Structure 1
Amino acid sequence: MPPTLHQPKGNPTLTAALRTLKRLQEKHNGVVEASDFKDDDQRAVLVDTGFLRQVMKGWYICSSPSDNDGDTTAWYASFWAFVSGYLGKRFGKRYCLNPEASLMLHTGNTTVPRQVTCVTIDSGTSTLNLPFDTSMLVYPDKNRVPTARVEVRGLQVWPVAEALCLAGPSFFANNPREAEIALATIRNASELLPTLLAGDKMVTAAGRLAAAFEFVKRPDETERIRKAFAQFKVALKLVNPFELAEPTISPCKERSPYVLRLRSMWAGWRQDVINVFPPAPDLENQRASYLAQVDERYVFDAYNSLSIEGYRVTDELIERVARGDWKPDGDPENDKTRNALAARGYYQAFQAVKGSIGKVLAKDNASLVVKRDHHDWYAELFGPSVTAGIIEASQLAGYRRGPIFIRNSMHTPLPSDAILDSLEALWDLLEAETEACVRAVLGHHLFVFIHPYYDGNGRIGRFLMNTLLASGGYPWTVIRMSRRDEYMKALEAASVKGQITPLAEFILQEMREWTPECEAKS
């Protein structure tokens, strides 16, 4: 995320340099070449003060002075902008990402890749070593740069249909989710046939795609490809490139790659969660004792949840806001106003969540409760900050309308124009799910995966998790600050590596801290 530019008093050199940087970051999306600066002294002072970070010789990205050398946030946030800016400046539009990279972009993959491959019309071959073990391979092959290129995220890429025809079997084996999504965006196999039948007929690729359509339960498309080749007396040998036991996306008319990804994640992961969690407890007629237990855990939960989000709070502060004897105006004991406002907001939101849990325990539909009430939780969470004038009231009215990045994560939250469709898909998945543990674990993760707000996503996600845990009688579970790194690694494993078991096991471990009798299934 571009840094907020301040004008330090008494430092005219840095002030002028920051004005130049602001203009350049708006023009080049945060990616800057040394030659963009008319004054080398300005570039030097921006590097020295941490507003610019070098990517490779002569190339820089905007960064924050608060970042340390090991902080990956600026680079992961700028990765695709850098690739786009570098390739655009060097080759114009005389290049194309290879078919596999093209498909990853088309299918809404949110992970920064270790390496991206670019094919050019005319250049030498080179490997650019980039920060944090990422790289870019560039090589010339004019026959692998299609005439009909399309643009995604400012990059020249293959159209989906052509990329599917050219992607090898390893793409389906190594990236099954992306392969399924790409196939789902193909309305009709006739989109593939011009490429499969052109010139030297791509018989092997045709057999692979016909088998892939058969695997994802679209036999009509399989037959269409068969018949097209049969006209030329070619009998296809169908070889299924997927190594999955069964598909994770059912045939549908949905075309949003982000919605398709959520559905695939849910279908592919739900059994993993069920395998980890014990059966849901029976809490019939225990509504009052359950809510009392939730109350007992407020102080510990608030301390840990706010600390995970980066706030520095104390037990004393939390207890004071819970008692209602803290006031934001004129309080001499509070020199950390923002932290105090966050604590007050957390208390108010906690009370709203407890009300939602009461509805769930009274047999209201849990999925509908969280769909309806999460807006109220968010409004309570940030209400005190709005009252104090720290944030605009408009921010409580809806979801974010711009990009956001998760600190030191290789996962990039969904673009803002995908949020509404993705959340609707999440509510539908919650509604259809029969297992409370699946609703809680996957509901929490996918909400944070979407990241619909500018701030507070983790807190709302954990509120959502606990409300859905209550729907199965599982206890309110606190994610402890002392295990923050493990928690973040588990979220990263799900978002980046496609592994949900570490997160499910982590949540169960934290749950068992409070209820030792809640043993994992053998």
Structure 2
Amino acid sequence: MKGWYISSRPEEPAGESTAWYAAFWGFCADYLNAKFGNEWCLSPEQSLCIQSGNWNVPEQLLVRTPKGGNKPLALLHDTSIIDVRLQLPDKKDRESKDNLRIMTVPAALLTCSPGFYSNHEADARSVLSMISHASEILPHLLQGGHSTIAGRLAGAFRNIGRSVIADDIVAAMKAAGYSVTEADPFAKEAVIVFGDRELSPWVNRMRMSWAAMRTVVLETFPPPSSWSQNIDAYLQQVDEIYLTDAYHSLSIEGYRVSEELIERVRSGGWDPEHNRKDREYADALAARGYWQAFQAVKESVDKILHGHAAGQVVRDAHARWYRELFAPSVSAGITAATDLAGYRNQPVYIRKSRHVPPRSEAVRDLMPAYFTLLHEEAEPAVRAVLGHFFFVFIHPYIDGNGRMGRFLMNAMLASGGYPWTVIPFETRTEYMAALEEASVRRNIEPFAGFLAKLVQKGMTSKG
């Protein structure tokens, strides 16, 4: 293969990874279909990742095909495809998602390696939770007499709290004359209880990650603030930090703003109708939207400080924050009013990130579950760190997710008496790297530590 074309935005720097990560799955599907026709499918492990909703870009994509050459094909940005010469599963055990040929959940669970459960713990538990009855997997086990695999699956189901399925697998195999020794393939106990009715892999993964990550946050973050001040004083400090907050938050998103422009827009000294050709036009619209959204967030903070449940306040108010954030762009005709109607209904990609946010259909399940977790969380530090992280992980909107995540973080910080915290533009690289580590590797420690330092610095300056 001599090369390939990738569509990218004209303003995107040459060689940046964003366009490749956005094109990765479509490119691989087209390439594999062109080379192998319909005689290929992804490995059972990769199939299970996709079945569980994990579309993150892997470093190496493993493919099964009878025509395989057993050699890797190097692609851009340290990714590759390796086609392994193996027979395909039966047609009934294969399906297609977005032009990718993958194995069904039962077939992939039957053939995946034992190491999958420890190496991809969240994906494994998420995909197991999609099985509602033992009958979905027993035909595969009985047909091949897979007693060892049956024991492993029984142990896996029992680990996530699906003991009825585990018992049915063992009983059915023994009734057929097979000896089964149950063995738990997971290295750890499940951190949540999996309900029989919650079959969304995305929701279950988020619940698992929240439960596992909150312990790290509590070990890393300073305790809630003990310094006392009245509500008016807290809100006054929020007002005083606005210019700094707006400058850094907008700069992180790539807007070219100055404190002078932000102040001019806030005070009404910039008329968009007379500045349409000004190079600052888009930046000024963003600054005006930030000012309007900031006022809405401040109202929410006021309610939280007066004792209203923080998660409930933000759940009820976040749609208004978002509308205010982009209202000036709508008035100027740059953003369609329909874009403010709700959560996104199309794919979205994050610059330079291997993390692929959930599909739009998954967002509809995730956001109610997200706000339930936020509301039920007792610790303000956890609400702030994980509230920010999971909001940008889900990426419920086409644009503005970072600003919304930082607004949400500060609303949750207020619920614990922590000061409003600005993430400096100068720390953008560290900030984004910490989010990437949490999104791709489920390691929240760098992000929690990053925010903890900023919050601690703010608490120290307040005495």
Task: Please give the TM-score of this superposition, normalised by the length of structure 1.
Answer: 0.85
Counterpart of 1:445, as a letter, is F
Correspondence for 2:205: 261
Identity between Structure 1 and Structure 2 (%)? 46
The correspondence for 2:215, drawn from 244, 266, 271, is: 271
Correspondence for 1:375: 319
The correspondence for 1:296, drawn from 222, 231, 240, is: 240
Correspondence for 2:31: 86
Q: Which moved more, 1:343-352 or 1:234-243?
A: 234-243
CA offset at residue 146 of structure 1?
4.8
The correspondence for 2:350, drawn from 406, 418, 422, is: 406
Matches within 5 A, 1:32-111: 56-111=1-56
Following TM superposition, the consecutive aligned residue runs of length 4 or more in structure 1 with deviations greater than 6 angstroms are: none
CA–CA distance in structure 1, aligned partners of residues 276 and 20 of structure 2:
41
1:197 counterpart SS class: helix
Correspondence for 1:470: 414
Correspondence for 1:158: 103
User: Which protein shows a greater Rg?
Assistant: 1
CA offset at residue 288 of structure 1?
1.0
1:169 counterpart SS class: coil
The correspondence for 2:131, drawn from 186, 194, 197, is: 186
Q: Which moved more, 1:429-438 or 1:58-67?
A: 58-67
* 1:304-343 Cα distance to aligned partner (Å, 9 max, x none): 0000000000111112223232222225995310001111
1:507 aligns with 2:446: no
The correspondence for 2:148, drawn from 195, 200, 204, is: 204
Correspondence for 2:380: 436
CA offset at residue 252 of structure 1?
3.4
CA contact (8 A) 2:65 2:88 kept: no
CA contact (8 A) 2:421 2:458 kept: yes
Counterpart of 2:230, as a letter, is Q
Correspondence for 2:328: 384
CA–CA distance in structure 2, aligned partners of residues 67 and 325 of structure 1:
32
Closer/same/farther in 2, CA of residues 148 and 233 from structure 1, 3 Å limit: closer
* 1:332-383 Cα distance to aligned partner (Å, 9 max, x none): 9953100011111111111111011001111111111111111111111111
Correspondence for 1:459: 403
Correspondence for 2:391: 447
Correspondence for 2:262: 318
1:151 counterpart SS class: strand
Closer/same/farther in 2, CA of residues 156 and 518 from structure 1, 3 Å limit: farther
CA contact (8 A) 1:96 1:145 kept: no
1:250 counterpart SS class: coil
* 1:376-426 Cα distance to aligned partner (Å, 9 max, x none): 111111111111111112212222221111110001111112212110110
CA offset at residue 251 of structure 1?
2.8
Correspondence for 1:42: none
CA contact (8 A) 2:155 2:185 kept: yes
* 1:199-245 Cα distance to aligned partner (Å, 9 max, x none): 3x212111111111121122211211111121234332222111124
* 1:80-120 Cα distance to aligned partner (Å, 9 max, x none): 10111111222222211111110011001131001111111
CA offset at residue 491 of structure 1?
0.4
1:173 aligns with 2:118: yes
Q: Which moved more, 1:279-288 or 1:89-98?
A: 279-288
Q: Which moved more, 1:105-114 or 1:320-329?
A: 320-329
The correspondence for 2:74, drawn from 121, 126, 129, is: 129
CA contact (8 A) 2:393 2:439 kept: yes
CA–CA distance in structure 2, aligned partners of residues 314 and 222 of structure 1:
61
CA offset at residue 128 of structure 1?
1.1
CA offset at residue 122 of structure 1?
3.5
* 1:426-485 Cα distance to aligned partner (Å, 9 max, x none): 011111111111111111111111111111110011101101111111111101000000
1:244 aligns with 2:188: yes
Closer/same/farther in 2, CA of residues 333 and 225 from structure 1, 3 Å limit: closer
Counterpart of 1:507, as a letter, is L
Closer/same/farther in 2, CA of residues 106 and 233 from structure 1, 3 Å limit: same
CA contact (8 A) 1:342 1:385 kept: yes
CA contact (8 A) 2:40 2:88 kept: no
Counterpart of 1:313, as a letter, is V
CA contact (8 A) 1:119 1:144 kept: no
CA–CA distance in structure 2, aligned partners of residues 475 and 127 of structure 1:
51
Correspondence for 1:486: 430
Correspondence for 2:179: 235
CA contact (8 A) 2:262 2:287 kept: yes
Counterpart of 1:404, as a letter, is V
CA–CA distance in structure 1, aligned partners of residues 267 and 280 of structure 2:
19
2:455 counterpart SS class: helix
Correspondence for 1:138: 83
CA–CA distance in structure 2, aligned partners of residues 368 and 509 of structure 1:
27
RMSD: 1.9
CA offset at residue 61 of structure 1?
2.4
Structure 2 unpaired stretches of 5+ = none
Counterpart of 2:106, as a letter, is A
CA offset at residue 69 of structure 1?
4.1
Q: Which moved more, 1:449-458 or 1:233-242?
A: 233-242
CA–CA distance in structure 2, aligned partners of residues 333 and 88 of structure 1:
47
* 1:13-49 Cα distance to aligned partner (Å, 9 max, x none): xxxxxxxxxxxxxxxxxxxxxxxxxxxxxxxxxxxxx
CA–CA distance in structure 2, aligned partners of residues 298 and 274 of structure 1:
28
CA contact (8 A) 2:93 2:107 kept: no
Q: Which moved more, 1:190-199 or 1:122-131?
A: 122-131
The correspondence for 1:329, drawn from 250, 264, 273, is: 273
Higher relative contact order, chain-length normalized (CA < 8 Å, sep 6+): 2
Closer/same/farther in 2, CA of residues 233 and 476 from structure 1, 3 Å limit: same
CA contact (8 A) 2:21 2:353 kept: yes
Q: Which moved more, 1:161-170 or 1:231-240?
A: 231-240
CA contact (8 A) 1:128 1:135 kept: yes
CA–CA distance in structure 2, aligned partners of residues 429 and 413 of structure 1:
19
Closer/same/farther in 2, CA of residues 333 and 184 from structure 1, 3 Å limit: closer
Q: Which moved more, 1:165-174 or 1:302-311?
A: 165-174
CA contact (8 A) 2:41 2:63 kept: yes
